Amino acid sequence: MQKAELRSAQADVEKCVVHAPFDGTVVEKYVQAYQFVRMGEPLLRLVNSTDLEVEAIVSSQWLKWLKPGTVFSMTVEEVSQTVLGRVDRVVDEVDPISRTVRMIGVLDKTFIKMLPGMSGVLKFEQ
């Protein structure tokens, strides 16, 4: 009987280990130590600051020339530095009211330390 209780307790303890899906930074904590939580309840909010993407809303008229691989520069407002990037994808949906599309880009890996939520100005060469 004691072995069964030990196995049950060990199984419960294994459920107490949390594995993050990526290396990141904790930006918000929803629970405290030793607090009881239900399975599936959020504990923390993590951000991944290693593979940041740039999201921009651009004119749908740009679809004539804006393609994956198009190079741009981004001046990051918070640090007043410029980094290079390239268009990764253009979302296949035009907003009919504003006549805009979402563009997702990636930055050169040699960029300065960026944090999620930073903003900037993009410049494209045609």
pLDDT at 89: 97
pLDDT at 111: 61
Within 10 A of 8 (CB to CB), how many other CB atoms are there? 10
For residues 28 and 96, the answer to whether their CB atoms sit within 8 Å is no
pLDDT at 94: 96
pLDDT at 14: 76
pLDDT at 92: 92
Which tens digits make up the pLDDT trace of 107-117? 887 666 778 88
* Fold designation for 53-124: Elongation Factor Tu (Ef-tu); domain 3 (2.40.30)
**3-state SS, residue 10:** helix
Residues of the chain with pLDDT under 50: none
- Residues of each domain in the chain carrying CATH 2.40.30.170: 53-124
- Which regions of 13-119 does DSSP assign to beta strands (E)? 25-29, 44-47, 53-59, 71-76, 81-90, 100-107
pLDDT at 64: 95
